[in-house]
Amino acid sequence: MRVAALARERAYAPYSGYKVGAAIRTKRNKIHGGANVENASYGMTVCAERCAAFAAVAAGETKDWDAVAVIVAGDDLASPCGACRQVLYEFSPGMRVILATTTGKRKATTLAELLPDAFGPDRLPRV
């Protein structure tokens, strides 16, 4: 959670003011952090969870992700959006998801619970 909290502090959120931090831990105990990065062209904004996922991939970690932690300010937990859930599923369908707030609220769940009947690589024909 420490890496996610540090990433949240570094988030670039000048439009919404809603800073989010995330960290992916692999089963080899490597941790990759990410923060949301907003853009004046709102559609170009990238969530913290995807930033963490892309950091893991850039570091050569494309499988065996154990968990993702997501932290936001305040008392209300924030769950990964649909796009982030889909990206996380691509690399680790069985991963745990830990949601947290800066005030200490926490909830643990799984990606399978957040994305039932997911569409993944196993549904595509291999070429």
Report all structural domains of the chain as residue ranges with CATH numbers, in order of start: 2-116 (3.40.140.10)
pTM over 0.95: no
Angle, helices 2-9/48-58, rounded to nearest 10 degrees: 110
CA distances from 80 to 64, 123, 127 (A): 19, 23, 31
Q: How far apart are CA 115 and CA 126, in angstroms?
A: 23
Query: pLDDT for 45-56, tens place per residue?
Result: 999 999 999 999
Please give the positions annotated as active site.
49
Query: pLDDT for 59-110, tens place per residue?
Result: 999 988 999 999 999 999 999 999 999 999 999 999 999 999 999 999 999 9
pLDDT at 122 over 90: no
Return the sign of the alpha-carbon dihedral for residues 24, 72, 99, 94: negative
